[in-house]
Amino acid sequence: MYHAIFVSPWPWWVAGPALGLVVVLTAWLGGKGLGVSAAYGSVCAAASRLPVFRQRQFHETWRVWFVAGLPLGGLAAAALGGWFAPSLAYGSLDALTGGSLAARAGLLLAGGLLVGAGAHWAGGCPSGHSLVGIAQGSVASLVATVGFMVAGVVVFNLLVRVLGGLP
């Protein structure tokens, strides 16, 4: 049972409704939208005095637990599944950077900053817009999601060309 729930990928017809149910239950029971960028903002608000993090939405402690649970849940699942093997290997990024840890860290930091800036500019992250915003009928979320998807396809194709194909 553990393998079927936590290890094997769920079919789309199970995973989609399960995600939808979580979104609806969060909105119904808590009256809140479920998105990672607002949760990350709550983590930043706990450690920063910047004015942007003084907004009311960033002072909801449940969001801190939500964002902390994402990596902790992944680590717990990996450990319980018996396939926890920490490594600094990063697949094709190692080939692109020649194995340089500094170059890898720089690219990941730059990518993270771009994702954060994009989420701020779009008024939320892809998960928030795509799962919550569209479910609430937001036209802005639909436009943002289409933008995320188009950008993802373009960047994927550029990376495939730069890295010389798929592994």
Structure tokens at 167: 């592994």
Let me know: does 104 contact 93? Beta carbons within 8 Å. Answer: yes
Range of the domain at 114: 88-167
Q: What is the pTM of this model?
A: 0.64
Helices (H) then strands (E): counts for the chain? 9, 0
Same domain, 46 and 126: no
Residue that terminates a domain, selected from 57, 86, 115: 86
How many percent of the chain have pLDDT more than 70? 98
Number of domains in the chain: 2
pLDDT digits (tens, 9 = 90+) for 20-60: 888 888 878 877 777 787 788 788 888 887 887 777 777 77
Residue that terminates a domain, selected from 69, 86, 103: 86
